[in-house]
Amino acid sequence: MVTLLQFTLDGLALGNARVDEFTQLTLNGLTLGSVYALIALGYSLVYGILKLLNFAHGDVFMVGTFIGFGTLQVLGGSTDPVVPVWALLILITLAAMAGCAVLGVAIERFAYRPLRDAPRIAPLISALGVSFFIAYSMQLMFGAALKNYDTFSLDGGALYFKGFDIGNVRVPLIRIITIVSAFVMMILLWLLVTRTRIGKAMRATSHDREAAAMMGIDIDKVIVFAFVLGSALAGAAGVLFALRVPTYATIGFLIGLKGFTAAVIGGIGSIPGALAGGLVLGFAEAYTQGYVSTRWSDLFVFVILILFLLFRPQGLLGKADIRKV
Amino acid sequence: MKKRGGLVLALAVFAAAALASTAGAGSSAVTRSQAVSCKSTLKLGMVAPFTGGAGFLGNEQLSWAKYAVKTLAPKYGLKIKLVTGDTPVEQGPAPAQTLAQKFVADKSVVAVIGPSTSGAVAASSQVYRDAGLAHISESATRTSLTKGSALEATSAFFRVVPGDYIQGPTDANFMIKKGAKNVVVIDFQEPYSQGLADAAENVLDKKGVTTTRLSIANTVTDFSSFVTKVPSSADFVFFPTQKPGDAQNFAQQLIEQGKKAKVFGGDGSNDATQFKVPGSFVSNFAPDITGIAYNKPLIAGWQKDNPGKAVGSFGPPTYLAVQVALNAIKRACDAGKGSIKERADVVRNVKRIFVKNSILGGDFRFSTKSNDPLNAKFYIFEIQSNGSYKLVG
């Protein structure tokens, strides 16, 4: 009887540990997925209008992390900020968004617009070239060492020690900020695209560029706006990511590829799809690291990409392309 | 036509193979035996990571190497030029191999300080040995460089710091002394951390401590999922990274996930500006040299050349390495009556060097059984609430 009781208690303890592990991995996936969703949105916005895969987008994200870091230092750093913590976080995010928006406009103007009427391969190669140019320029200017926001030093570690618990799993403030901010931005984007004039113009251009032009929509303006929006979101994603994880100049390539994978999973060109894809990818990565192997998670992510491209190229929420023959 | 083309191709392949087979042997044979005048400017190579995640280490070492050359070379009557080569840890062994070829090909390079990292030593020691070029490391601690059945370094390799066969057990025994019952041991899939993790884990296992081994790729920066795998009951996470920023990040994420385990970093984590989570530990091969009275003038001189910089743990062993190298070069010059007949003369003299009252405290000499220092030890520091490192073991 005692043995049975002990076995039951051990089983319950093991069960509780398993539940805690699952909860923590889900939280990891949600945090990561929120960042991937913001990056995927940038891919979807540009692809939806231009049918162009902007492979420099991951490096725009990286530049966002650096702008956030630089702004943080200007505002006193994490040990001695000159503004309250909440204001500091808003300011570094806005700075990253603004800086990345400008970068996005420059990339569109100089790397893609001249190739708009060229064969599709040309802007793709240009995108790859821009990606490497940005990454290695940043490395040359700022070095290859990690840049750590050191958010642990902010307000005596409040972002880590404050929060709430789900069972035995802590949900610290820093994760709440990351997840909530990402969702708020996605909702604001959805409202902008569905409820505003410029959003309507973007949807029209995405549906049929020539027809939209004939209806009097300024296509160049719409395209630039798409780059501004997408790049600003990448900048915001950069800050949200770097609040918890140090950044470096070549981080953008792999994270950009994962953001692209999220966009494909969700349905490239679809905004709700980008959110869905980001979350699916975040959870897949977290659960693979937790239950299979940490060495296999990147492999698994790209296997998912290949499987979607082979069997469901339109993604979870995208629409299959119908071509008139 | 086809026959002729085939013949030309075959000749071209033969010529390329002949060239490749003679190139390496030729260059080392020439540079091994060419004499160098000690009145000319001799070069001291230095191989360290000056960029990348471990750039802080290389740059600190460089500042001390420059100071050592500036102050010691005139005392030995030598004209020395320091020539550097960068080996970012993120790029693996390739840069070290390229630099070895470069230094070996330059006959005025008579000794090398470094490589700083164990992986770089393993990748390049053979090239240096074949050219008879002494390479004296100030921070490569991997055990298998000088001990074990399959040595990764050669007879031309020396180090002025103890190996991980001392660091691993020292760290493990300290954790046990602190009451550790459950320890997570991590490696980063590269030589330094794997050797140190193995050494610590062996001792922990033998003393009945429950260990969990995790392996993380050197390029990972988001440790969330690894932190999730750390049991709630773990007392320590042994984290032998070469990037203190990663140690800081991991410690932060442990707190973020409500884990009680403390991070215990190796000598690669030793940087108070980057790794400063209170309650964490680091080990290092050098004590705090500012506590040694006879070092005061030396430290004052270094600080004059490096205003505003703190005396770290990686710089002083570099000073000692340069001191040993210059001493050996001087002896080779004396034996050769004003010239170094061959580089191997420097190698032979390195082993004989004795330094009284070395910068690291006490006298320094090499062990008779290996090219490691005699009677060296590791020191343990605990990170305080103000971020400073306090010697605790």
Dump pLDDT digits (tens) for A99-155.
999 999 999 999 999 998 888 889 889 999 999 999 999 988 987 778 889 898 898
What is the CA angle B218-B224-B229, rounded to 5? 95
Contact B171, B380 (CB under 8 A): yes
Q: Cα B180 vs. chain centroid, distance in angstroms?
A: 29
- ipTM of the modeled complex: 0.76
Q: Which of A80, A152, A177, A299 to mutate to test the interface with B (most CBs of B within 10 A)?
A: A152
B267–chain A nearest CA distance, Å: 18
Cis peptide before B115 (omega within 30 of 0): yes
**Above 70 in pLDDT, residue B6?**
no
Question: Do the chains contact at A148 and B222, CB–CB below 8 Å?
Answer: no
Asked if B169 and B152 sit in the same domain, the reply is: no
Which chain A residues are Cβ-neighbours of B221 within 8 angstroms?
146, 245-248, 251
Q: Which of B257, B274, B280 to mutate to test the interface with A (most CBs of A within 10 A)?
A: B257
Which residues does A137 contact at the CB level (< 8 Å), separation at least 6?
none
**Above 90 in pLDDT, residue A234?**
yes
Report the alpha-carbon distance of residue B376 to residue B390 in Å, rounded.
20
Contact B380, B287 (CB under 8 A): no
Contact B160, B317 (CB under 8 A): yes
Report the alpha-carbon distance of residue A265 to residue A304 in Å, rounded.
8
Question: Do the chains contact at B248 and A148, CB–CB below 8 Å?
Answer: yes
Q: Which of B256, B263, B273, B383 to mutate to test the interface with A (most CBs of A within 10 A)?
A: B256
Which residues does B352 contact at the CB level (< 8 Å), separation at least 6?
B328, B331
Report the alpha-carbon distance of residue B301 to residue B299 in Å, rounded.
5
pLDDT of amino acid A321: 58
Question: Do the chains contact at B221 and A170, CB–CB below 8 Å?
Answer: no
Q: Are strands B210-215 and B182-187 parallel, antiparallel or unpaired?
A: parallel
Asked if B43 and B149 sit in the same domain, the reply is: yes
Which chain A residues are Cβ-neighbours of B90 within 8 angstroms?
144
**Tokens in use for B337?**
């009556």
- Using the Cβ of A23 and the Cβ atoms of chain B, whether some distance falls under 8 Å is answered with no
**Above 80 in pLDDT, residue B3?**
no
Measured CA to CA in angstroms, residue B107 lies from B28, B133, B328 at distances of 10, 10, 17
Question: Do the chains contact at B51 and A161, CB–CB below 8 Å?
Answer: no
**Tokens in use for B107?**
């006959």
A100–chain B nearest CA distance, Å: 23
Phi, psi (degrees; rounded to nearest 5) at B383: -80, 125
Asked if B125 and B262 sit in the same domain, the reply is: no
Sign of CA dihedral B145, B151, B157, B158: positive
**Tokens in use for A31?**
């945090």
pLDDT digits (tens, 9 = 90+) for B358-393: 999 889 999 998 999 998 889 999 999 988 899 898
Residue B264 within any structural domain of the chain? yes
pLDDT of amino acid A3: 62
B115–chain A nearest CA distance, Å: 19
Q: At A240, which amino acid appears?
A: L
Asked if B46 and B118 sit in the same domain, the reply is: yes
pLDDT band at A4 (very low <50, low <70, confident <90, very high): low
- For B86, other C-beta atoms within 10 Å of its C-beta total 18
A122–chain B nearest CA distance, Å: 31
Residue B14 within any structural domain of the chain? no
Which of A239-243, B101-105, B222-226, B262-266 is predicted with the least confidence, judged by mean pLDDT?
Answer: B222-226
Residue B40 within any structural domain of the chain? yes
Question: Do the chains contact at A251 and B224, CB–CB below 8 Å?
Answer: no
Report the alpha-carbon distance of residue A286 to residue B224 in Å, rounded.
9
Q: What's chain B's average pLDDT?
A: 89
pLDDT of amino acid B186: 96
- Using the Cβ of A13 and the Cβ atoms of chain B, whether some distance falls under 8 Å is answered with no
Asked if B273 and B385 sit in the same domain, the reply is: yes
Residue B192 within any structural domain of the chain? yes
pLDDT digits (tens, 9 = 90+) for B333-349: 999 999 999 999 999 99
Which chain A residues are Cβ-neighbours of B277 within 8 angstroms?
152
pLDDT digits (tens, 9 = 90+) for B168-212: 999 999 999 999 999 999 999 887 899 899 999 999 999 999 999
Which of A208, A104, A205, A62 lies closest to A112, judged by CA? A104
pLDDT digits (tens, 9 = 90+) for B283-308: 988 778 888 889 999 999 999 999 98
B223–chain A nearest CA distance, Å: 8
Closest Cβ opposite residue A145 in set B52, B221, B255 = B52
* Number of alpha carbons in the 13 Å side-chain half-sphere of residue A114: 7
Measured CA to CA in angstroms, residue B72 lies from B79, B138, B322, B358, B364 at distances of 10, 17, 9, 13, 17
Question: Do the chains contact at A247 and B221, CB–CB below 8 Å?
Answer: yes
Phi, psi (degrees; rounded to nearest 5) at A99: -60, -45
Question: Do the chains contact at A24 and B228, CB–CB below 8 Å?
Answer: yes
Percent of chain A scored above 70 by pLDDT? 94
**Above 70 in pLDDT, residue A6?**
no
pLDDT of amino acid B21: 41
Residue with tokens 């530049």: A63
Question: Do the chains contact at B225 and A289, CB–CB below 8 Å?
Answer: yes
CATH number at residue B317: 3.40.50.2300
Report the alpha-carbon distance of residue A34 to residue A277 in Å, rounded.
10
Asked if B244 and B268 sit in the same domain, the reply is: yes
Interior/surface letters A18-45, b for 16+ CB within 10 angstroms, e for the rest: eebbebbbbbbbbbbbbbbbbbbbbbbb
The widest CA-to-CA distance across chain B, in whole angstroms, is 83
Contact B170, B380 (CB under 8 A): yes
Q: Cα A289 vs. chain centroid, distance in angstroms?
A: 19
Beta bridge partners of A163: A172
Per DSSP, the three-state class of A163 is strand
pLDDT of amino acid A32: 93
Which of B148, B142, B109, B144 lies closest to B128, judged by CA? B109
Question: Do the chains contact at B245 and A146, CB–CB below 8 Å?
Answer: yes
Per DSSP, the three-state class of A3 is helix
Domain that holds residue B336: 36-163+291-362
Sign of CA dihedral A263, A269, A273, A274: positive
Residue B22 within any structural domain of the chain? no
Question: Do the chains contact at B221 and A246, CB–CB below 8 Å?
Answer: yes
pTM here is 0.76
Asked if B93 and B191 sit in the same domain, the reply is: no
pLDDT of amino acid B22: 41
Question: Do the chains contact at A25 and B222, CB–CB below 8 Å?
Answer: no
pLDDT band at A79 (very low <50, low <70, confident <90, very high): confident
- For A220, other C-beta atoms within 10 Å of its C-beta total 13
Asked if B221 and B152 sit in the same domain, the reply is: no
Rounded (10°) CA dihedral B197, B202, B208, B210: 30
Closest Cβ opposite residue B225 in set A145, A165, A290 = A290
B258: left (phi over 0), alpha (psi -120 to 50) or beta: left
pLDDT of amino acid B8: 52
Report the alpha-carbon distance of residue B2 to residue B14 in Å, rounded.
18
Report the alpha-carbon distance of residue A258 to residue A251 in Å, rounded.
11
Question: Do the chains contact at B255 and A161, CB–CB below 8 Å?
Answer: yes
pLDDT band at B76 (very low <50, low <70, confident <90, very high): very high
DSSP A247: B
Nearest CA in chain B to A241: B222
Residue B2 within any structural domain of the chain? no
B214–chain A nearest CA distance, Å: 9
Which chain B residues are Cβ-neighbours of A174 within 8 angstroms?
256
Asked if B208 and B60 sit in the same domain, the reply is: no
Q: How many CB contacts within 8 angstroms connect chain A with chain B?
A: 91
Closest Cβ opposite residue A290 in set B222, B228, B246 = B228
Which chain A residues are Cβ-neighbours of B225 within 8 angstroms?
25, 28, 285-286, 289-290, 294, 297
Q: What's chain A's average pLDDT?
A: 89
- For A313, other C-beta atoms within 10 Å of its C-beta total 13
- Using the Cβ of A270 and the Cβ atoms of chain B, whether some distance falls under 8 Å is answered with no
Rounded (10°) CA dihedral B281, B284, B290, B295: 170
DSSP A296: S
pLDDT of amino acid B26: 39
Residue B20 within any structural domain of the chain? no
pLDDT of amino acid B139: 93
pLDDT band at B352 (very low <50, low <70, confident <90, very high): very high
What's the domain count of chain B? Answer: 2
pLDDT band at A64 (very low <50, low <70, confident <90, very high): very high
HEC profile for chain B?
CHHHHHHHHHHHHHHHHHHHHHHHHHHHHHHHHCCEECCCCEEEEEEECCCCCCHHHHHHHHHHHHHHHHHHCCCCCCCEEEEEEECCHHHCCHHHHHHHHHHHHCCCEEEEECCCCHHHHHHHHHHHHHCCCEEEECCCCCHHHCCCCCCCCCCCEEECCCCHHHHHHHHHHHHHHCCCCEEEEEECCCHHHHHHHHHHHHHHHHCCCEEEEEECCCCCCCCHHHHHHCCCCCCEEEECCCCHHHHHHHHHHHHHCCCCCEEEECHHHCCCCCCCCCCCEEEECCCCHHHCHHHHHHHHHHHHHCCCCCCCCCHHHHHHHHHHHHHHHHHHHHHCCCEECCCHHHHHHHCCCEECCCCCCCCEEECCCCCCECCCCCEEEEECCCCCEEECC
Q: Which of B50, B225, B246, B277 to mutate to test the interface with A (most CBs of A within 10 A)?
A: B225
pLDDT of amino acid A12: 63
Using beta carbons and an 8 Å cutoff, which residues of B are at the interface with A?
Answer: 51-53, 55-56, 88, 90, 214-217, 221-222, 224-226, 228-229, 232, 243, 245-246, 248-249, 252-253, 255-258, 274, 277
A251–chain B nearest CA distance, Å: 9
Closest Cβ opposite residue A148 in set B215, B217, B249 = B249
Percent of chain B scored above 70 by pLDDT? 91
pLDDT of amino acid B7: 55
pLDDT band at B16 (very low <50, low <70, confident <90, very high): very low
The arithmetic mean of pLDDT across residues B103-107, rounded, is 94
Beta bridge partners of B389: B383
Asked if B384 and B245 sit in the same domain, the reply is: yes
The arithmetic mean of pLDDT across residues A150-166, rounded, is 89
Residue B76 within any structural domain of the chain? yes
pLDDT band at A179 (very low <50, low <70, confident <90, very high): very high
Question: Do the chains contact at A245 and B215, CB–CB below 8 Å?
Answer: no
Report the alpha-carbon distance of residue B323 to residue B329 in Å, rounded.
10
Question: Do the chains contact at B229 and A161, CB–CB below 8 Å?
Answer: no
Beta bridge partners of B236: B183, B262
The arithmetic mean of pLDDT across residues A267-281, rounded, is 89
Question: Do the chains contact at B90 and A144, CB–CB below 8 Å?
Answer: yes
Asked if B158 and B60 sit in the same domain, the reply is: yes
Measured CA to CA in angstroms, residue A203 lies from A37, A46, A193, B287, B326 at distances of 20, 12, 7, 66, 73
- Using the Cβ of A21 and the Cβ atoms of chain B, whether some distance falls under 8 Å is answered with yes
If you average pLDDT over each of A1-5, A112-116, B88-92, which comes out highest? A112-116
Asked if B195 and B303 sit in the same domain, the reply is: no
